[in-house]
Every structure is written in C-alpha cells, then in structure tokens.
C-alpha cells in the first residue's frame, strides 16, 4: 500500500519556487503592457519626442518632419 509522506519546506525554498514559477509569466505580461502603453501614448508629443525618437532603429520614423511654416503656434 502506498503511503503519503509530507515534507516540510523552508520559507526561503517556498519563496524561490513561487518566484521561479511566476517570473516568466509576469515578464511576458509586463513586456506586453509596456508595449501597449507605448503604442497608445505614441501620439503624445512628449512621449514621441523624449522616448520614441531616441530608439536607434525606429527613431527616424517618429521624427517630426513638418516644416516650421506649416505648424500652428
């Protein structure tokens, strides 16, 4: 007959196990939330000028190429 044997786990070991289990999922959700926030805020001039124009490959796409004479105030 099979016996069920329970072993105690230290609080540190339990914390490490939970951290290992959730870290990849939380990382994926965090990266997705950050990408969504940048996508939604990309129309904001401050985000466009301070963040998106400084990305090495995509920076030229977000630069404002409108001549000064065509801008209103």
Average pLDDT over residues 28-45: 94
Query: Do 47 and 38 meet the contact criterion of CB atoms below 8 Å apart?
Result: yes
pLDDT of residue 72: 79
Q: How far apart are CA 49 and CA 30, in angstroms?
A: 23
pLDDT digits (tens, 9 = 90+) for 4-14: 999 888 999 88
Q: What is the per-residue pLDDT across 53-69, written as a single tens digit (0 to 9) for each?
A: 998 998 888 888 889 88
Give yes or no for residue 73 having a pLDDT over 80.
no
Question: What's this model's pTM, rounded to 2 decimal places?
Answer: 0.63
Please state whether 63 falls in left (phi above 0), alpha (psi between -120 and 50) or beta. Answer: beta
Question: Cβ atoms within 10 A of the Cβ of 38, count?
Answer: 13
The ranges assigned to domains in the chain are 25-64
């Amino acid at each position: 007959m099979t016996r069920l044997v329970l072993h105690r786990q230290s609080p540190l070991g339990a914390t490490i196990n939970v951290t290992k289990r959730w870290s990849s999922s939380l990382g994926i959700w965090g990266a997705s939330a950050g990408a969504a926030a940048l996508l939604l805020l990309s129309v904001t001039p401050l985000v466009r000028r301070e963040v998106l124009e400084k990305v090495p490959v995509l920076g030229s796409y977000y630069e404002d190429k409108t001549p000064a004479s065509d801008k209103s105030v």
